[in-house]
Amino acid sequence: MDIFRKAPMTQKKSHLQRHLGLSELIFLGVGSIVGTGIFTITGTSAAEYAGPAITISIIIAAICVTMSALFFAEFSSRLPHSGGVYRYIYTVFGEYPAWIAGWFMIIEFLGAISTAASGWGEYFKAFLQTFGISLPKALSGPFNPANGTYIDIVPVLLLLFVTILVLRGSKTALRFNSVLVVCKIAVLILFIALGLTAINVDNWSNFAPYGFGQLYGGKTGIMAGATLMFFAFLGFESICMAADETKDPQKKVPQGIFISIGLVTLLYVLFTLVLTGTVNYTKLNITDVVPFVLRSIGFPLAGNFVSVVVILTLVTVCISMMYALSRIIYNISCDGLLPVQFQKVSATSKVPNNATIFVGIVTMIFAGILPIELLALLVNIVTLAYLILLALGVIQLRRVHGEPKEGEFRTPFVPVLPILSIIICLSLMTQCGTEAWIGFFISFVLGTIIYFVYGYRHSKIGNGQVDD
């Protein structure tokens, strides 16, 4: 039984249409990254984990993400094919490790899409309540008959809209996404500009009330805050999923990754400094932290305006990640590890229809019926796990296939930088709670069962088939 059979280094032929440029990749990346994390968990992170030093947590998380981005960039320039970490690991380590990486990516994106939709639903329902409008209790929460709730209908309707939009084609979906990303960035800039007028340096006097924390196994402090804020950077890898639809992907994909992360990191640092400089960190343990701070410093109209814009712009996370996840499933299916039905591409819009519909249905179920917090706990830990595989993959790529050629991106300081990335990722993983680790091992076992029951037997490489 050969579970380490490798995909060839040569690029596979794509049946998708190449029409995306650098600007659209940047909007895709920023749209995926900036969302639920920065608008909802920064207040909790500051109040319960790191205090004003949440800015340092942001920088640590950004360093971790940037190192992984270097590895993504080298792989995407040497193997400019959609599929992300799954495709890269398939090339250097073989099929089973690649499937596990792809499986973790599927879990990450399912959790992120569902969590974003649920967060959007909470903002929207709170907004309706300001006008005295409330939904029937049975339709306003996940399945819990004892509590009188059976389905959270608002995120379900949102995901239905997003699914229809993504099915219309990547160009249409990403243009709509780009408009909302501009609005989202404008809100962050507005918050920073208004907040700078009300900075009280006394709020920073106890800058790190919880200390640095522990490198391994900590529960509070800067390092624990970094683990939580890592969630705010998830989604940058969605750019790699668009390689099959990008013009000149060897150059444009790495550029899109770095510009997106750089822009987001700058905004996050300024955002958290203003957040903790205007209101004492002990008062920030709320979900709608941005409107709260603006109202607290004397800008109630701006706070109400931001609430509306955040409701609209959180949609971009769902669009970007649903777009990316459908491409992940499409690529895995093309290799035979998932059913062939997911390979179907629309003749007109060149969209993987069945994969997109599947993602839409599953995320609607998760967001509408399940207690999504349990799934969200998995997102960080499975992402960190496959980023460790990515770091190991760069070392193996150099060992097996040599140095990058002229014109290809070169990750500096290999193998020192990948080893450092692995250490940081392991440190962040140990900050996760017991529930996350239990979910991680359950998902690993379930993914392994799926591979041996279906994937191994239907693998195209294993059956000697060549994908045309």
Tell me the average pLDDT across 156-181.
80
- Helices of type H across 34-94: 36, 42-45, 54-78, 85-92
List the chain domain ranges: 22-459
Residue 415: asked if its preceding bond is cis (omega within 30°), the reply is: yes
246 three-class SS: strand
User: Percent of the chain beyond pLDDT 70?
Assistant: 91
Give the mean pLDDT of the chain.
85
Q: Give, in degrees to the nearest 5, the angle at Cα 165 between 380 and 190.
A: 65
Quote the pLDDT of residue 170. 61
Under a CB-based contact definition with an 8 Å cutoff, are residues 208 and 53 in contact? yes
- Homologous superfamily in CATH for domain 22-459: Amino acid/polyamine transporter I (1.20.1740.10)
CA-closest candidate to residue 168, choices 325, 354, 358, 353:
353
Quote the pLDDT of residue 468. 46
User: Percent of the chain beyond pLDDT 90?
Assistant: 40
Measure the CA–CA gap between 155 and 128, rounded to whole angstroms. 14
pLDDT tens track for 308-339: 887 777 787 788 788 888 888 998 999 999 99
Quote the pLDDT of residue 215. 83
Q: Which of the given ranges, 377-391, 423-437, 440-454, has the highest pLDDT on average?
A: 440-454
Quote the pLDDT of residue 46. 93
CA-closest candidate to residue 31, choices 214, 211, 182, 246:
182
Q: Return all residues near 1 (Cβ < 8 A) that are at least 6 apart.
A: 456
Measure the CA–CA gap between 436 and 297, rounded to whole angstroms. 37
